[in-house]
Structure 1
Amino acid sequence: METIKIGIIGIGQIGKMHIQQYQSITGVEIVAVCDLNEAEARLVAEQYKIPHVYTDFRSLLERDDLVAVDVCLHNNFHAPVTIAALQAGKNVYCEKPIAGTYFDGQQMVATAEASGKHLHIQLDTLFQKETKAAKALIDGGMLGKLYHARSTGFRRRNRPFVDGYGTPYFTRKETAGGGALLDMGVYHISQLLYLLGNPTIERISGKLYQELDMLQERREQSRFDVEELASGLIRLADGMTLDIIEAWAVHLGGFEGSSIAGSKGGIRLPNGLEGAESQPFSFHSTICDMDMDSTLNLDLMDTRWHRIRDNEDAYDSSQQHWIAALQGRVSLLPTSQIALSTMLISEGMYLSDELGREVAAEEVIAHSHTTAVSL
């Protein structure tokens, strides 16, 4: 297989995670890293034996041996760096969400189309075993006509920085664009949009909350001005609906996992919790006039598919899929389009909360503007 040479832009928490994940993927070589913090960049380069270090991403993009770059920056930095990389002839893998606003995400997608280069957004839930099982059941007609989905994401009291992890950049609109919706919700909403076939979004209603106490010192340091909980109802094409609840912090013992209801059957995804609160993947249907609730052995499914399907490893993770697509082994899933639809929903919920009413998708698109920050 062709060795894909890439550069990493941003070596903070997420950048380091991406570098570690690349270590286990055959056919990829990290040639260079870039970060404004030169000392940290050199430490990381030394640790992972990466030969070249930059503090200006534009200098990194001048390298003619790089096939792609991996953008691991905060949300409002995604668009300027991604667009510059695509225009420099590089394929781009960008951390989620696609950008800070729909407008900026659309500019990224348009630039990718104009340049003929791949744009892949990190949506790792698309590559989970439960997503593959759900997709197989849907494609096999086991759910019938899909009509409603529910997207859920739960943390009890786990807001970035103010609850003890991460940096204040996650909690400020100026760098993150939003809170729980753009940090966690992107994973769950995009997963459901993928399973629903990325339907056209018609109307959006949303409400945002920041209600729980936080340490005053942490509140002041973080300048926390984003949502810790978001709820919404989305009207989709063909009469489908999607309801959403996403929490960084809420005084409850947990949520049910995300779900999809169809005319012949339904699925519920795991809720991501551990212990007594954990919930497995389940499929629900009626057989011989009897209501049946069933679970699947996802590990056996995964083992079998790896044994009998070509290039099944290309769907083991977002990064493995990215490298396999660049090698020409598989077609790239439309993650940029799904991520853009996810951003339209999120921004629509923000606008709906601001205006106190339901909004049309076209209204959200017209209202959206750039929040991009250049490095």
Structure 2
Amino acid sequence: MNEKTVPATLKVGVVGVGWAGQQHVKAFSAIDGVEIVAVAGMETELLESIQSEFNIPHGFARWEDLVELDGLDAVSVAVPTFLHAPITVAALERGLHVLSEKPLARNGEEGAAMVAAARKAGRVLDVVFNHRRRGDVTKLKSIIDEGALGRPYYAKASWLRRRGIPTLGSWFTNPELAGGGPLADIGVHVLDYALHLLGEPKVISVSASTYSELGSQGRGGDVNYIAASSSHKFEVEDFASAFIRLEGGVTLLVEAGWASYRDQADLMDFRVYGTDGGAELRAAQSHEISEAGLRIFTDDDNGTSIDYEAETLEDGNHPAVVEEFVNAIRAGENEWGSHDGSVALSRALVIDACYTSAREQREVRL
């Protein structure tokens, strides 16, 4: 890509053909002026199917071949976490913009290298934090920013599953490949939308605990899974909790669990208490139910409760993330520096501190 100009048609390559990669392909294909010219993945039949469905001319088994393809402007990275850093850095060094799935990397050190590469190349590095684009989160963000709740001082955010280990015995349960368990996988989403809702306060310290009680026994995932026959041991946590102190005396409690004895439905929630009001965001999902709601608690000038159910906005999710990435590229080089992955790096450093705290059983200051 030319240093100062943005082509009329952005040519994009997508690395990864799993669920996340498919979301990227669908989202890019829906944007005018974007052409997906290449896709890479090791699942040959799935790769060929995606190429055919979306009329993608180039298909590669190796991500290295995709990154080297002439004419690319940007690359999406939707592969296991241990590959995020090498693919992203290689693409940035080629002068390509990068959109990476979460988490940014296995740890803050790798994440810092990715951010440094983005700054050196002068290119966009965005990370897929799609849950902050949900309609209920977007609506609550506007309510908090308008000052309707006063000054928030305590918040609790969680994503909890009854039986939701992403594939027992796969790369997800190997710390060398994934970087961690649910704290790194779904907890980073919870941490991201919580800090986003609170206005990006600085994290002062964390005190965390992790547990591996069910996954280590072959529970919490596919009912047909047998721990002893797995190609990988279960070496990550299946539940984590973190007490996080924020600047200004604000406290945030984060919970992330792949498996625990609770309701069958996945629960994603956020509660916040402010000096003039509070809010409760709750989304539950299972095969049988799908429910979501946002309740606001406050008083009128006479002290009478005027609690209400807020009408939420339309969900954005992956399409909104991809559209924002494309818009950042199209905005030109003056905008690229503000999309360098630094927010995602700040999340990675907090996750690192949580794992250190849990391992050493102490509070960790950032």
The bucket for the TM-score relative to the shorter chain is: 0.7 to 0.9
Do 2:128 and 2:318's aligned partners in 1 also have CA atoms closer than 8 Å? no
Higher helix share: 1
Q: Residue type of the partner of 2:293?
A: P
SS of the equivalent of 1:270 reads strand
Count of equivalent residues: 346
Query: Counterpart amino acid of 1:249?
Result: A
User: Any stretches of 5+ residues in structure 1 without a counterpart?
Assistant: 304-312, 362-375
Q: Supply the AA of the counterpart residue of 1:321.
A: E
SS at match of 1:16: helix
Do the aligned partners of 1:315 and 1:321 also contact (CA within 8 Å) in 2?
no
Three-state SS of the structure 2 residue aligned to 1:84 is helix
Instruction: Give the letter aligned to residue 17 of structure 2.
Output: I
SS in 1 for 2:226: helix
2:51 matches 1:45: yes
Structure 2 equivalent of residue 263 of structure 1: 275
Q: Corresponding residue for 1:131? A: 137
Aligned-residue Cα RMSD (Å) equals 2.7
Q: Give the CA deviation at 1:243.
A: 0.5
The partner residue of 1:228 within 230, 238, 253 is 238
Q: Give, as a single letter, the amino acid of the residue that structure 2 aligns with 1:285.
A: T
Bigger drift between 131-140 and 29-38 goes to 29-38
**Counterpart amino acid of residue 49 in structure 1:** N
- How far apart are the structure 1 equivalents of 2:46 and 2:289? 41
2:286 counterpart of 1:282:
no
In 2, Cα distance between equivalents of 1:208 and 1:251: 16
TM alignment of 1:123-202, pairs within 5 A: 123-162=129-168, 168-202=170-204
Q: Is the 8 A contact 1:207 1:353 kept in 2?
A: yes
The worse-fitting range, judged by mean Cα deviation, of 39-48 and 6-15 is 39-48
Q: CA deviation at 1:219?
A: 5.2
Question: Aligned residue for 2:256?
Answer: 246
User: Post-superposition shift, 1:63?
Assistant: 3.1
Name the SS of the counterpart of 1:266 in structure 2: strand
**2:226 aligns with one of 203, 217, 222:** 217
1:108, CA displacement in angstroms?
Answer: 0.9
> Is contact 1:146-1:240 (8 Å) kept?
yes
Letter of the 1:273 partner, please give it. Answer: Q
TM-score scaled by structure 2?
0.86
Q: 295, 309, 313: which one pairs with 2:309?
A: 295
> Which residue type is aligned with residue 337 of structure 1?
S
String of CA shifts for 1:290-328, please: whole Å, max 9, x gaps: 1232112224xx59xxxxxxxxx8996211222222232
Give the aligned residue type for 1:294.
Y
**Alignment match of 2:356 (pick from 347, 351, 371):** 351
Instruction: Name the amino acid aligned to 2:173.
Output: T
Return the alpha-carbon distance in structure 2 between the equivalents of residues 57 and 229 of structure 1: 33
Residue identity opposite 2:322 in structure 1:
Q
Unaligned stretches of 5+ residues in structure 2: 1-6, 220-224
Question: Which amino acid is the alignment partner of residue 356 of structure 1?
Answer: Q
Q: Indicate the residue corresponding to 1:318 in structure 2.
A: 321
CA gap 1:160/1:197 in 2 versus in 1, 3 angstroms: same
Of the three residues 123, 145, 167, the one matched with 1:117 is 123
Q: Which among 198, 203, 206 is matched to residue 204 of structure 1? A: 206
Aligned residue for 2:282, secondary structure, equals coil
Deviates more, 1:120-129 or 1:246-255: 246-255
Q: 1:185 to 1:315 in 2, by over 3 A?
A: closer
- Verify the 8 A CA contact 1:194 1:338 in the aligned structure 2: no
**Displacement of 1:141 after TM fit?**
1.3
User: Percent of counterpart pairs with the same letter?
Assistant: 30
Please state whether the residue corresponding to 1:291 is helix, strand or coil: coil
Query: Are the equivalent residues in 2 in contact too, given 1:193–1:338 (CA < 8 A)?
Result: no
Task: Give me the whole-angstrom Cα distance separating, in 1, the residues matched to 2:118 and 2:25.
Answer: 24
Indicate conservation of the 8 Å contact 2:40/2:60, yes or no.
Answer: yes
Q: After superposition, what is the alpha-carbon deviation per residue over 1:20-55, rounded to whole angstroms, capped at 9, x for unaligned?
A: 333333332110112345564334323321101223
Kindly tell me: are residues 2 and 263 of structure 1, through their superposed partners in 2, closer, same or farther at Cα, counting changes over 3 Å?
farther
Q: Distance in 2 between matches of 1:80 and 1:316?
A: 25
Query: Paired residue for 1:306?
Result: none
The CA deviation string for residues 106-156 of structure 1, in whole angstroms up to 9 with x for no partner, is 111121122110011000012111122122112211122222221110111
Tell me the TM-score normalized by structure 1: 0.84
The residue type equivalent to 1:175 in the other structure is L
How far apart are the structure 1 equivalents of 2:43 and 2:209? 38
CA contact (8 A) 2:15 2:40 kept: yes
Counterpart code for 1:324: N
Please state if 1:336 is matched with 2:341: yes
Is the alpha carbon distance of 1:260 and 1:316 closer, same or farther for their aligned partners in structure 2, counting shifts above 3 Å?
A: farther
Deviations 1:143-181 (A, max 9, x none): 22222221110111111223xxxx701111111011111
Structure 2 residue 103 is the aligned partner of structure 1 residue 62: no
- Which of residues 71, 83, 108 in structure 1 aligns to 2:89? 83
